[in-house]
Structure 1
Amino acid sequence: MKILIQLFFLIPIIVAFKDNEVIGKVGLKAIEKFSGIDHEGVEFEKTYYITQYLTTTPINARSACKSYSSAMDLASFESREEFLKIRPKLSAEIRDKPVIVGGFLHGDEYRWMSSGLKIDFRYDPSKGKNCLGLQKEGAIGYVPLTCNEEYLFICQKLEFHYSN
C-alpha cells in the first residue's frame, strides 16, 4: 500500500510542467511573474507559485519545489523592486499563517538559499527561529520561523533569457 501511495504522488509531479493546467492538480497556484536583469546583466523571468494544501518544513520545502521542476526553487525576493511587485499578489494569497520562503539564518543575518545574498531583515538569532517566511499582519512582511514546523510554501521557477 505504501508503494502505491508513493507512485500516485509521483505521477503528477512528473507531468507538472508539460501543461500549466496540471500545476493546479498538484497543488501549486501561479501568483505572479517578475522580470529583471541579474548582477551579470542576464535577463530573467521568475514565476511564483504558492502551495494550496501541501505543507512541509522549511528544511524540506526546497526539495519539494525542486521535485516539481529542476528550474524551481524556494522563492527569493532579491531586490526591493521585486518584493514590491509581488507583494500585492502575496497579500491576496497569504492568510493568517506564515508561508515559507527561501531565507535562512547564516551567522547573525538572513540570506537567500538560492543566491546567498543578504536579506534586509533583522531578528534576534538567539530565539532559535533560523528559517524565514512571510505573513500577513496588516501588510505582508518577513517573519522568522522554526525550521521543524510545517507550513505552506512559495516556489519560484527561474528562466534566463540569453541573447546571441
Structure 2
Amino acid sequence: MRYLPILMLLAGFWLALPARAAIDVYEFDSPEQEDVFRELVRELRCPKCQNQDISDSNAELAKDLRDKTHEMLLAGSSKREVIDYMVARYGNFILYKPPLMASTLILWLGPVLVILLGLGVVLVRTRRSRRGRSEALSAEEQKRLAELLNKDKEN
C-alpha cells in the first residue's frame, strides 16, 4: 500500500507522454534574423499540407523546411536567397503568392476570363432569344399584336 502513490504518479506520467507537445525552439543571432524567419515561415506553403504555411503545419516536411530556413539564416543567407532555394527545390507552389509569369498567368487571369466568357454567353443567348421571338410570329400574329398594342395606347 505504501507504494501505491508512487505507482499512481508513475502511471500518470506514463499516460501523459503521448499528450506532450513538441515545440520547436530556434535561437538566433539577432532580433532581425528572428523577424525574417517569422516572415519566411508564414510566406512558405507546406508542400504536403498545401493550405498551411510551414509555421502552422505539423508535418515532418514542414519541420524540415523550418529547420532548413533556420540553418540558412544562421549561415548568413538573405530572405531572397532562402526563397530562391525553396522555389528551386519545390517550385512556385511553395509560395502563397506566386510571381506573375507566363506559367502562372492562367492562375491570375483564369477566373476573370471565365467570368467574362460566361457573361458573353449569357448576352449572346439573350439577344438570340429576343430576335427569335419576333421572327417566329406569323404575319397574322404580328397584325394581331399591332392591334393589341394600338388598343393599349388608346386607353
Larger Rg: 2
When you count strand as a share of all residues, which structure comes out higher?
1
Tell me which interval the TM-score lies in, with the shorter structure as reference length: under 0.3
When you count helix as a share of all residues, which structure comes out higher?
2
Task: With the length of structure 2 as denominator, give the TM-score of the two structures.
Answer: 0.21
Task: With the length of structure 1 as denominator, give the TM-score of the two structures.
Answer: 0.20
